[in-house]
Amino acid sequence: MTDLAGRTALVTGSVQGIGLAVAEALAGAGARVAVHGLAAPGQAEEVCAGLGELGSPEAVFFPADLRDPEAISSMMAALEAWGGVDVLVNNAGIQHTAPLAEMPRETWDAILAVNLSAAFETMRLALPSMAARGFGRVINIASVHGLVASKDKAPYVAAKFGLVGLSRVAALEYATAGTKASGGVTANCICPGWTETSIIAPQVAARAAMFGGDRDKGIADLLAEKQPSQRTSDPGEIGALALWLCSPLAHNVTGAAIPVDGGWTAQ
């Protein structure tokens, strides 16, 4: 079992979805958790209380709109004062589907900012302290779309391919940091396929509309197109993998982009 007692984790976008599941897995292993995201009133407090019940000694909400690099810098400074980040999970992400020629410039800018540039900011600010401590984990939630493309997702695919590349650069630059005993500093991506969260709701609704609004048939049709297992993933499965990557056993797993995609990218 991975023991994260004494470790501090920042999970961006952890007020819901995959980020919340990752935060729950890390909390269950005893990590202090910096919760983050665009939260509805009361949502952050509820999430922090839930993480406490799961075993986190301290769970605190740190706000920052990831489209704003200054806000990210302020958040990272506040986190340094809170004790520094041992586990950095860049999870927050947004999606918009449209053909490339019809994709609004503002949408391109927003997706690149949240899904890619924000990870550059958090990583450049967190990695030096990780190296100094001899332990650190960067876990970037990319996507199958960091490994293969789909039509109508130009900014999302560009950002996720970029995130895989960025993670590999960090893996190389920090490969010698720390020791086997201290756990080293690693940087990896998890690349989910269809996972049951709200980010896929517009795509599911559009596909369900082709089947008279039948959600199950819409999901089955999306899966049939790309995901050979014909099964969606649950967010907790991504959380479990993120937790394993935090183990000292995973000190030599770095620069990887690990698909959780039912065989999507094996085709």
User: Would you tell me how many other CB atoms lie within 10 Å of the CB of residue 24?
Assistant: 23
Tokens of 75: 């958040």
Calpha distance 51→38 (Å, rounded)? 18
Our finding on whether 259 is near ligand NAD (CB under 6 A) is no
Our finding on whether 117 is near ligand NAD (CB under 6 A) is no
Nearer to ligand NAD by Cβ, of 62 and 135: the residue is 62
Cα–Cα distances in Å, from 171 out to 137, 138, 176, 235, 252?
Answer: 10, 9, 9, 25, 10
Of residues 1, 81, 198, 267, which one binds ligand NAD by CB under 6 A? Answer: 198
Minimum CB separation from ligand NAD for residue 251, in Å? Answer: 25
Tokens of 206: 């559009």
Pair 19, 89: CB distance under 8 Å: yes
Query: Which H helix or E strand runs over 75?
Result: helix 69-81
Give the x-and-dash track for 60-99 against ligand NAD (CB under 6 A): -----xxx-----------------------xxxx-----
Nearer to ligand NAD by Cβ, of 252 and 267: the residue is 267
Region near ligand NAD per CB under 6 A, out of 8-16, 27-35, 53-61, 205-213? 8-16
3-state SS class at 118: helix
Give the position of tokens 């947004």: 94
Give the x-and-dash track for 150-189 against ligand NAD (CB under 6 A): ----------------------------------------
Calpha distance 123→171 (Å, rounded)? 11
Pair 124, 168: CB distance under 8 Å: no
Our finding on whether 218 is near ligand NAD (CB under 6 A) is no
Question: Is 174 annotated in the active site?
Answer: no
Our finding on whether 200 is near ligand NAD (CB under 6 A) is yes
How many chain residues are in contact with ligand NAD, going by CB under 6 A?
A: 26
Which residues of this chain interact with ligand NAD, rule CB under 6 A? 13, 15-19, 37-38, 65-67, 91-94, 114-115, 141, 143, 192, 194-195, 197-200
